[in-house]
Amino acid sequence: MQSKKIISRFFALDEEENARQIMVNWDKTSSQLPPLEKIEFIQDNFIRENAEKANISAPIIIQIIKQKKLLTKDAETLSFLWHCHQIINEGDNGREMAEAMPELENIPPESKGTFFILLAISGFPKAIVHWKDKGLPQNILLETYKDLNVWVEYYYREFNLIGIKKRALGWMQAHFNATLFKLGRLQFNVPRPFGNYLYILKDKKNNLRYLSAEGKKYNCNGLIDGVDDIWDEDGGWISTLKIDKNQITGNEINRKGYVEKNLTTFRLDDWKIILRPGDLVINIHIPAGEPLATDACRKSLSMANNFFAKYFSTKEHKAFVCYSWLLDSQLKGILKSDSNIIRFQKLGQIFPMSGTSDAIERIFGPHSTKDNIYSQTHQSSIQKTVAKFIDNGGILRNGGLIILRDIC
Ligand SMILES: CC(C)(COP(=O)(O)OP(=O)(O)OC[C@H]1O[C@@H](n2cnc3c(N)ncnc32)[C@H](O)[C@@H]1OP(=O)(O)O)[C@@H](O)C(=O)NCCC(=O)NCCS
Protein backbone atom coordinates (compact mmCIF):
# COMPACT_ATOMS: atom_id res chain seq x y z
CA MET A 1 0.00 0.00 0.00
CA GLN A 2 1.36 3.41 -0.99
CA SER A 3 2.31 5.78 1.82
CA LYS A 4 0.86 8.64 -0.27
CA LYS A 5 -2.53 6.97 -0.22
CA ILE A 6 -2.46 6.66 3.58
CA ILE A 7 -1.43 10.29 3.98
CA SER A 8 -4.22 11.58 1.80
CA ARG A 9 -6.74 9.33 3.56
CA PHE A 10 -5.92 10.08 7.23
CA PHE A 11 -3.99 13.35 7.42
CA ALA A 12 -5.47 16.79 6.88
CA LEU A 13 -3.70 19.10 4.43
CA ASP A 14 -2.13 21.15 7.26
CA GLU A 15 -0.70 17.99 8.89
CA GLU A 16 2.10 17.60 6.36
CA GLU A 17 4.87 17.83 8.96
CA ASN A 18 3.15 15.25 11.19
CA ALA A 19 2.71 12.95 8.19
CA ARG A 20 6.45 13.08 7.53
CA GLN A 21 7.16 12.11 11.13
CA ILE A 22 4.52 9.38 11.42
CA MET A 23 5.04 7.74 8.05
CA VAL A 24 8.70 7.00 8.71
CA ASN A 25 9.38 3.28 8.04
CA TRP A 26 5.96 2.83 6.47
CA ASP A 27 7.31 0.53 3.75
CA LYS A 28 8.87 -1.74 6.36
CA THR A 29 5.92 -1.93 8.78
CA SER A 30 3.29 -2.29 6.07
CA SER A 31 5.22 -5.13 4.47
CA GLN A 32 5.32 -6.89 7.86
CA LEU A 33 1.60 -6.62 8.58
CA PRO A 34 0.58 -9.98 10.11
CA PRO A 35 -2.78 -11.65 9.37
CA LEU A 36 -5.60 -10.13 11.43
CA GLU A 37 -5.84 -13.03 13.89
CA LYS A 38 -2.11 -12.78 14.66
CA ILE A 39 -2.17 -9.12 15.70
CA GLU A 40 -2.30 -9.51 19.44
CA PHE A 41 -3.37 -6.01 20.48
CA ILE A 42 -6.60 -6.12 18.49
CA GLN A 43 -7.77 -9.51 19.79
CA ASP A 44 -10.92 -9.28 21.93
CA ASN A 45 -9.26 -11.01 24.89
CA PHE A 46 -6.28 -8.70 24.85
CA ILE A 47 -8.52 -5.64 24.76
CA ARG A 48 -10.80 -6.96 27.51
CA GLU A 49 -7.96 -7.92 29.83
CA ASN A 50 -5.94 -4.74 29.39
CA ALA A 51 -8.90 -2.36 29.37
CA GLU A 52 -10.16 -3.88 32.65
CA LYS A 53 -6.77 -3.17 34.24
CA ALA A 54 -7.22 0.46 33.23
CA ASN A 55 -10.51 0.51 35.17
CA ILE A 56 -12.62 0.82 32.00
CA SER A 57 -16.12 -0.52 32.67
CA ALA A 58 -17.53 -3.64 31.00
CA PRO A 59 -20.18 -1.84 28.85
CA ILE A 60 -17.53 0.52 27.49
CA ILE A 61 -15.18 -2.38 26.74
CA ILE A 62 -17.98 -3.97 24.68
CA GLN A 63 -18.27 -0.73 22.68
CA ILE A 64 -14.51 -0.57 22.17
CA ILE A 65 -14.52 -4.11 20.78
CA LYS A 66 -17.46 -3.29 18.53
CA GLN A 67 -15.74 -0.19 17.12
CA LYS A 68 -12.48 -2.12 16.76
CA LYS A 69 -14.26 -4.63 14.51
CA LEU A 70 -15.49 -1.83 12.28
CA LEU A 71 -12.09 -0.18 12.15
CA THR A 72 -10.13 -3.32 11.32
CA LYS A 73 -12.54 -4.41 8.57
CA ASP A 74 -11.06 -1.67 6.44
CA ALA A 75 -7.66 -2.69 4.99
CA GLU A 76 -6.16 0.84 5.00
CA THR A 77 -7.25 1.56 8.56
CA LEU A 78 -5.89 -1.79 9.75
CA SER A 79 -2.50 -1.19 8.10
CA PHE A 80 -2.31 2.31 9.52
CA LEU A 81 -3.30 1.15 13.01
CA TRP A 82 -0.61 -1.55 12.89
CA HIS A 83 1.96 0.98 11.68
CA CYS A 84 1.10 3.47 14.46
CA HIS A 85 1.31 0.70 17.04
CA GLN A 86 4.79 -0.17 15.78
CA ILE A 87 6.19 3.36 15.69
CA ILE A 88 4.73 4.38 19.06
CA ASN A 89 5.91 1.30 20.88
CA GLU A 90 9.22 0.72 19.11
CA GLY A 91 11.56 3.41 20.43
CA ASP A 92 11.75 5.85 23.34
CA ASN A 93 9.92 8.64 21.55
CA GLY A 94 6.38 7.24 21.86
CA ARG A 95 5.10 10.50 23.30
CA GLU A 96 6.31 12.65 20.40
CA MET A 97 4.98 10.09 17.93
CA ALA A 98 1.59 10.04 19.68
CA GLU A 99 1.42 13.82 19.59
CA ALA A 100 2.22 13.88 15.87
CA MET A 101 -0.68 11.53 15.10
CA PRO A 102 -3.23 12.86 12.62
CA GLU A 103 -6.75 13.93 13.53
CA LEU A 104 -7.84 10.89 11.46
CA GLU A 105 -9.68 12.37 8.55
CA ASN A 106 -12.12 9.94 6.96
CA ILE A 107 -12.64 7.77 10.02
CA PRO A 108 -16.22 7.99 11.35
CA PRO A 109 -16.43 10.14 14.53
CA GLU A 110 -17.72 7.21 16.59
CA SER A 111 -14.57 5.15 15.79
CA LYS A 112 -11.88 7.86 15.93
CA GLY A 113 -11.46 7.82 19.68
CA THR A 114 -11.34 4.02 19.72
CA PHE A 115 -8.38 4.10 17.32
CA PHE A 116 -6.44 5.99 20.01
CA ILE A 117 -7.70 3.78 22.86
CA LEU A 118 -6.47 0.67 21.01
CA LEU A 119 -3.04 2.27 20.62
CA ALA A 120 -2.93 3.26 24.29
CA ILE A 121 -3.85 -0.23 25.46
CA SER A 122 -1.39 -1.76 23.01
CA GLY A 123 1.51 -0.17 24.91
CA PHE A 124 0.71 -1.62 28.31
CA PRO A 125 2.59 -4.98 28.00
CA LYS A 126 5.74 -3.15 26.88
CA ALA A 127 5.34 -0.74 29.80
CA ILE A 128 5.29 -3.68 32.23
CA VAL A 129 8.64 -4.87 30.87
CA HIS A 130 10.09 -1.35 30.77
CA TRP A 131 9.14 -0.65 34.41
CA LYS A 132 10.53 -4.05 35.46
CA ASP A 133 13.84 -3.34 33.69
CA LYS A 134 14.08 -0.04 35.52
CA GLY A 135 13.31 -1.74 38.85
CA LEU A 136 10.14 0.34 39.29
CA PRO A 137 7.24 -1.10 41.30
CA GLN A 138 4.48 -2.77 39.29
CA ASN A 139 1.73 -1.73 41.71
CA ILE A 140 2.50 1.92 40.93
CA LEU A 141 2.38 1.19 37.20
CA LEU A 142 -1.05 -0.38 37.64
CA GLU A 143 -2.32 2.63 39.59
CA THR A 144 -0.82 4.99 37.04
CA TYR A 145 -2.34 3.06 34.12
CA LYS A 146 -5.84 3.64 35.52
CA ASP A 147 -5.48 7.21 34.30
CA LEU A 148 -6.63 5.87 30.92
CA ASN A 149 -10.16 5.55 32.25
CA VAL A 150 -10.12 9.17 33.46
CA TRP A 151 -9.44 10.20 29.84
CA VAL A 152 -12.16 7.85 28.55
CA GLU A 153 -14.66 9.48 30.92
CA TYR A 154 -13.54 12.95 29.90
CA TYR A 155 -13.97 12.10 26.20
CA TYR A 156 -17.44 10.74 26.86
CA ARG A 157 -18.45 13.96 28.64
CA GLU A 158 -17.11 16.00 25.75
CA PHE A 159 -18.40 14.05 22.73
CA ASN A 160 -20.87 11.52 24.12
CA LEU A 161 -18.73 8.86 22.43
CA ILE A 162 -16.25 6.18 23.47
CA GLY A 163 -12.64 7.16 22.97
CA ILE A 164 -9.69 9.27 24.00
CA LYS A 165 -8.01 12.20 22.27
CA LYS A 166 -4.55 11.86 20.77
CA ARG A 167 -3.33 14.18 23.53
CA ALA A 168 -4.35 11.49 26.04
CA LEU A 169 -2.48 8.89 24.01
CA GLY A 170 0.63 11.04 24.42
CA TRP A 171 -0.05 11.41 28.16
CA MET A 172 -0.27 7.61 28.49
CA GLN A 173 3.14 7.28 26.81
CA ALA A 174 4.62 9.44 29.59
CA HIS A 175 3.19 6.92 32.09
CA PHE A 176 4.53 3.97 30.10
CA ASN A 177 7.98 5.53 29.66
CA ALA A 178 8.13 6.05 33.43
CA THR A 179 8.34 9.83 33.32
CA LEU A 180 4.95 10.40 35.00
CA PHE A 181 3.67 8.56 38.09
CA LYS A 182 0.44 8.44 40.04
CA LEU A 183 1.28 8.26 43.73
CA GLY A 184 -1.88 8.47 45.78
CA ARG A 185 -4.15 11.36 44.79
CA LEU A 186 -1.68 13.24 42.58
CA GLN A 187 0.52 12.61 39.55
CA PHE A 188 4.20 13.56 39.43
CA ASN A 189 6.76 14.06 36.67
CA VAL A 190 10.37 13.06 37.14
CA PRO A 191 12.45 15.93 38.62
CA ARG A 192 13.27 18.69 36.13
CA PRO A 193 15.04 22.06 36.40
CA PHE A 194 12.72 24.77 37.73
CA GLY A 195 11.83 27.44 35.14
CA ASN A 196 12.66 31.08 35.52
CA TYR A 197 9.90 31.98 37.96
CA LEU A 198 11.10 32.71 41.48
CA TYR A 199 13.65 32.44 44.29
CA ILE A 200 12.92 31.26 47.84
CA LEU A 201 14.70 32.60 50.92
CA LYS A 202 14.67 31.14 54.41
CA ASP A 203 15.86 32.65 57.71
CA LYS A 204 17.09 30.97 60.89
CA LYS A 205 13.55 30.86 62.29
CA ASN A 206 12.34 29.07 59.13
CA ASN A 207 10.45 32.09 57.83
CA LEU A 208 10.15 31.99 54.06
CA ARG A 209 10.14 34.78 51.47
CA TYR A 210 9.53 34.50 47.74
CA LEU A 211 11.11 36.82 45.17
CA SER A 212 10.28 37.05 41.50
CA ALA A 213 13.03 36.07 39.07
CA GLU A 214 14.38 39.05 37.18
CA GLY A 215 13.21 40.33 33.81
CA LYS A 216 9.54 39.38 34.15
CA LYS A 217 6.98 41.87 32.97
CA TYR A 218 4.17 42.53 35.45
CA ASN A 219 1.13 44.79 35.33
CA CYS A 220 0.03 47.31 37.95
CA ASN A 221 -1.75 44.52 39.90
CA GLY A 222 1.41 42.43 40.25
CA LEU A 223 0.29 39.84 37.68
CA ILE A 224 2.11 38.75 34.53
CA ASP A 225 1.37 41.47 31.99
CA GLY A 226 -0.82 40.16 29.18
CA VAL A 227 -2.34 37.30 31.18
CA ASP A 228 -5.66 36.46 29.58
CA ASP A 229 -4.84 39.09 26.99
CA ILE A 230 -5.09 41.97 29.44
CA TRP A 231 -2.24 44.40 29.02
CA ASP A 232 -1.26 47.21 31.34
CA GLU A 233 -2.09 50.41 29.49
CA ASP A 234 0.83 52.18 31.17
CA GLY A 235 3.22 49.52 29.93
CA GLY A 236 3.66 47.49 33.11
CA TRP A 237 6.99 47.10 34.87
CA ILE A 238 9.93 44.68 34.80
CA SER A 239 11.14 42.77 37.85
CA THR A 240 14.66 43.20 39.16
CA LEU A 241 16.86 40.85 41.13
CA LYS A 242 20.27 41.79 42.43
CA ILE A 243 22.46 39.43 44.40
CA ASP A 244 25.82 40.38 45.81
CA LYS A 245 27.83 38.80 48.57
CA ASN A 246 25.95 40.61 51.34
CA GLN A 247 22.39 40.92 50.18
CA ILE A 248 19.64 40.08 47.76
CA THR A 249 17.19 42.68 46.48
CA GLY A 250 14.07 41.94 44.48
CA ASN A 251 10.30 42.07 44.09
CA GLU A 252 8.53 40.01 46.72
CA ILE A 253 5.59 37.75 45.92
CA ASN A 254 3.09 38.42 48.69
CA ARG A 255 0.98 35.85 50.53
CA LYS A 256 -1.95 36.53 48.20
CA GLY A 257 0.18 35.57 45.19
CA TYR A 258 0.79 39.04 43.67
CA VAL A 259 4.22 40.52 42.94
CA GLU A 260 5.09 43.77 44.73
CA LYS A 261 6.49 46.58 42.61
CA ASN A 262 8.53 47.94 45.53
CA LEU A 263 11.93 46.36 46.01
CA THR A 264 12.85 44.60 49.26
CA THR A 265 16.37 43.83 50.44
CA PHE A 266 17.35 40.77 52.52
CA ARG A 267 20.74 40.47 54.21
CA LEU A 268 22.40 37.17 53.38
CA ASP A 269 23.67 36.94 56.99
CA ASP A 270 20.08 36.38 58.00
CA TRP A 271 18.55 34.84 54.88
CA LYS A 272 19.69 31.92 52.76
CA ILE A 273 18.63 31.27 49.14
CA ILE A 274 17.11 27.79 49.31
CA LEU A 275 15.66 27.56 45.81
CA ARG A 276 16.46 29.30 42.54
CA PRO A 277 15.62 28.79 38.85
CA GLY A 278 17.39 25.69 37.54
CA ASP A 279 17.10 23.71 40.79
CA LEU A 280 15.35 20.37 40.45
CA VAL A 281 11.61 20.38 41.10
CA ILE A 282 8.79 17.92 40.48
CA ASN A 283 5.74 18.98 38.52
CA ILE A 284 2.41 17.95 40.00
CA HIS A 285 -0.70 17.15 37.95
CA ILE A 286 -4.18 16.87 39.40
CA PRO A 287 -6.27 14.21 37.69
CA ALA A 288 -10.05 14.56 37.75
CA GLY A 289 -12.00 12.19 39.94
CA GLU A 290 -11.61 12.08 43.70
CA PRO A 291 -11.95 15.29 45.76
CA LEU A 292 -8.70 17.15 46.35
CA ALA A 293 -8.74 16.33 50.07
CA THR A 294 -5.81 17.98 51.85
CA ASP A 295 -4.85 14.86 53.82
CA ALA A 296 -4.78 12.81 50.63
CA CYS A 297 -2.62 15.47 48.94
CA ARG A 298 -0.19 15.62 51.84
CA LYS A 299 0.04 11.84 51.85
CA SER A 300 0.62 11.87 48.11
CA LEU A 301 3.46 14.43 48.44
CA SER A 302 5.05 12.36 51.12
CA MET A 303 4.74 9.21 48.96
CA ALA A 304 6.42 11.16 46.15
CA ASN A 305 9.30 12.21 48.43
CA ASN A 306 9.92 8.57 49.34
CA PHE A 307 9.40 7.27 45.80
CA PHE A 308 11.77 9.73 44.12
CA ALA A 309 14.39 9.37 46.87
CA LYS A 310 14.36 5.61 46.29
CA TYR A 311 14.10 5.36 42.49
CA PHE A 312 15.60 8.66 41.29
CA SER A 313 18.16 9.20 44.02
CA THR A 314 20.55 11.12 41.75
CA LYS A 315 17.89 13.71 40.95
CA GLU A 316 17.19 15.17 44.36
CA HIS A 317 14.26 17.59 44.12
CA LYS A 318 13.92 20.69 46.27
CA ALA A 319 10.24 21.37 45.76
CA PHE A 320 6.99 20.50 43.98
CA VAL A 321 5.42 22.84 41.46
CA CYS A 322 1.95 22.94 40.00
CA TYR A 323 0.45 25.16 37.27
CA SER A 324 -3.32 25.20 36.99
CA TRP A 325 -6.62 27.06 36.84
CA LEU A 326 -7.09 25.81 40.44
CA LEU A 327 -4.29 28.12 41.54
CA ASP A 328 -5.89 31.40 40.55
CA SER A 329 -5.43 33.78 43.51
CA GLN A 330 -8.95 35.15 42.90
CA LEU A 331 -10.52 31.84 43.92
CA LYS A 332 -9.87 32.85 47.55
CA GLY A 333 -12.60 35.43 47.14
CA ILE A 334 -14.91 33.02 45.32
CA LEU A 335 -14.71 29.74 47.25
CA LYS A 336 -15.16 29.01 50.94
CA SER A 337 -11.89 29.12 52.89
CA ASP A 338 -12.28 25.45 53.88
CA SER A 339 -12.82 24.22 50.29
CA ASN A 340 -10.28 21.70 49.08
CA ILE A 341 -9.05 23.97 46.30
CA ILE A 342 -8.24 26.81 48.71
CA ARG A 343 -6.65 24.44 51.20
CA PHE A 344 -4.52 23.05 48.36
CA GLN A 345 -3.36 26.58 47.48
CA LYS A 346 -2.33 27.04 51.11
CA LEU A 347 0.05 24.05 51.00
CA GLY A 348 2.67 26.40 49.55
CA GLN A 349 3.07 29.77 47.88
CA ILE A 350 1.00 30.73 44.87
CA PHE A 351 2.53 32.91 42.17
CA PRO A 352 1.29 34.53 38.92
CA MET A 353 1.38 32.67 35.63
CA SER A 354 0.77 33.60 32.03
CA GLY A 355 -1.47 31.70 29.62
CA THR A 356 -5.20 31.30 29.30
CA SER A 357 -7.11 29.49 32.02
CA ASP A 358 -9.32 26.54 31.05
CA ALA A 359 -11.35 27.09 34.25
CA ILE A 360 -14.67 27.59 32.44
CA GLU A 361 -14.49 24.22 30.67
CA ARG A 362 -13.19 22.54 33.81
CA ILE A 363 -15.98 23.98 35.97
CA PHE A 364 -18.97 24.01 33.61
CA GLY A 365 -18.01 21.11 31.34
CA PRO A 366 -16.68 20.69 27.80
CA HIS A 367 -17.75 23.25 25.17
CA SER A 368 -18.63 25.79 27.88
CA THR A 369 -17.67 29.38 27.26
CA LYS A 370 -18.23 32.55 29.28
CA ASP A 371 -21.19 33.29 27.02
CA ASN A 372 -23.10 30.02 27.29
CA ILE A 373 -22.78 29.12 30.97
CA TYR A 374 -25.99 30.95 31.86
CA SER A 375 -28.08 28.51 29.83
CA GLN A 376 -27.12 25.63 32.21
CA THR A 377 -28.34 24.87 35.71
CA HIS A 378 -25.54 25.47 38.16
CA GLN A 379 -25.22 22.77 40.75
CA SER A 380 -22.03 23.07 42.77
CA SER A 381 -21.12 26.15 44.78
CA ILE A 382 -18.17 26.94 42.48
CA GLN A 383 -20.48 26.97 39.45
CA LYS A 384 -22.83 29.40 41.16
CA THR A 385 -20.16 31.76 42.46
CA VAL A 386 -17.98 31.67 39.33
CA ALA A 387 -21.04 32.39 37.13
CA LYS A 388 -21.72 35.46 39.26
CA PHE A 389 -18.04 36.46 39.14
CA ILE A 390 -18.00 36.23 35.33
CA ASP A 391 -21.30 38.06 35.07
CA ASN A 392 -19.66 40.94 36.96
CA GLY A 393 -16.89 41.07 34.34
CA GLY A 394 -14.38 38.86 36.17
CA ILE A 395 -11.82 36.81 34.22
CA LEU A 396 -10.28 33.65 35.65
CA ARG A 397 -6.55 33.08 35.35
CA ASN A 398 -3.93 30.40 35.73
CA GLY A 399 -1.65 30.34 38.72
CA GLY A 400 1.41 28.52 39.97
CA LEU A 401 2.04 26.87 43.34
CA ILE A 402 5.39 25.95 44.85
CA ILE A 403 5.60 23.60 47.81
CA LEU A 404 8.94 22.99 49.46
CA ARG A 405 9.82 19.32 49.76
CA ASP A 406 10.42 19.53 53.51
CA ILE A 407 6.87 20.47 54.42
CA CYS A 408 5.54 17.04 53.42
C1 LIG B 1 -9.63 19.28 41.50
C2 LIG B 1 -11.02 18.86 41.95
C3 LIG B 1 -11.03 17.40 42.31
C4 LIG B 1 -11.42 19.73 43.16
O5 LIG B 1 -12.70 19.37 43.59
P6 LIG B 1 -13.10 19.42 45.17
O7 LIG B 1 -12.17 18.58 45.96
O8 LIG B 1 -14.53 19.10 45.25
O9 LIG B 1 -12.80 20.95 45.48
P10 LIG B 1 -13.51 21.94 46.51
O11 LIG B 1 -13.79 21.30 47.84
O12 LIG B 1 -12.64 23.14 46.59
O13 LIG B 1 -14.84 22.32 45.79
C14 LIG B 1 -15.69 23.38 46.26
C15 LIG B 1 -17.00 23.28 45.54
O16 LIG B 1 -16.77 23.40 44.12
C17 LIG B 1 -17.22 22.21 43.44
N18 LIG B 1 -16.26 21.89 42.39
C19 LIG B 1 -14.91 21.74 42.51
N20 LIG B 1 -14.37 21.48 41.30
C21 LIG B 1 -15.39 21.46 40.43
C22 LIG B 1 -15.44 21.24 39.02
N23 LIG B 1 -14.34 21.00 38.30
N24 LIG B 1 -16.64 21.28 38.41
C25 LIG B 1 -17.77 21.56 39.11
N26 LIG B 1 -17.78 21.77 40.45
C27 LIG B 1 -16.59 21.71 41.09
C28 LIG B 1 -17.28 21.15 44.51
O29 LIG B 1 -18.20 20.14 44.14
C30 LIG B 1 -17.72 21.94 45.70
O31 LIG B 1 -19.11 22.22 45.52
P32 LIG B 1 -20.14 22.28 46.80
O33 LIG B 1 -19.59 23.35 47.71
O34 LIG B 1 -21.44 22.64 46.14
O35 LIG B 1 -20.10 20.92 47.42
C36 LIG B 1 -12.04 19.11 40.80
O37 LIG B 1 -12.03 20.47 40.46
C38 LIG B 1 -11.71 18.30 39.57
O39 LIG B 1 -11.95 17.10 39.48
N40 LIG B 1 -11.14 18.94 38.52
C41 LIG B 1 -10.76 18.29 37.29
C42 LIG B 1 -9.27 18.09 37.23
C43 LIG B 1 -8.53 19.37 37.05
O44 LIG B 1 -9.09 20.41 36.77
N45 LIG B 1 -7.21 19.27 37.23
C46 LIG B 1 -6.33 20.37 37.07
C47 LIG B 1 -5.82 20.37 35.71
S48 LIG B 1 -4.73 21.74 35.41
- Write down the pLDDT at residue 90: 87
Task: Report whether residue 332 contacts ligand 1, using a CB cutoff of 6 Å.
Answer: no
Q: What number does the ligand 1 atom closest to the CA of 342 have?
A: 12
Domain spans in the chain, listed from the N-terminal domain onward: 3-178, 196-275, 281-407
User: Using one digit for the tens of pLDDT, what is the confidence trace for 60-88?
Assistant: 999 999 999 999 999 999 999 999 999 99
Whether 362 lines ligand 1, by a CB cut-off of 6 Å, is yes
H or E element in which residue 280 lies: strand 280-285
Neighbours of 381 (CB within 10 A): 12
pLDDT of the residue at 408: 58
Which CATH topology does 281-407 take? Aminopeptidase (3.40.630)
Average pLDDT score over residue span 160-173: 96
Instruction: Provide mean pLDDT across the span 305-313.
Output: 97
Residue whose Cα lies nearest atom 44 of ligand 1: it is 362
Q: How open is the CA angle 63-7-168, to the nearest 5 degrees?
A: 45
What is the number of residues in the chain?
A: 408
Region 316-339: mean pLDDT is 96
Residue 292, ligand 1, Cβ within 6 A: yes
Bridge partners (DSSP) of residue 402 are 321, 349
pLDDT value, residue 269: 96
Q: Give the pLDDT mean for 52-60.
A: 98
pLDDT at 229: 75
Task: In whole angstroms, give the CA distance from residue 292 to residue 344.
Answer: 8
pTM of the entire predicted model: 0.93
The CA 61 to ligand 1 mean position distance, Å, reads 28
pLDDT tens per residue, range 119-134 = 999 999 999 999 999 9
3-class DSSP state of 367: coil
Q: Which residues contact 130 (CB under 8 A, 6 or more apart)?
A: 176, 177, 178
- Verify whether ligand 1 is closer than 6 Å to residue 339 (CB atom): yes
Q: Where residue 57 falls among pLDDT bands split at 50, 70, 90?
A: very high
User: Which of 94-103, 219-228, 298-307 shows the highest mean pLDDT?
Assistant: 298-307
pLDDT band at 230 (very low <50, low <70, confident <90, very high): confident
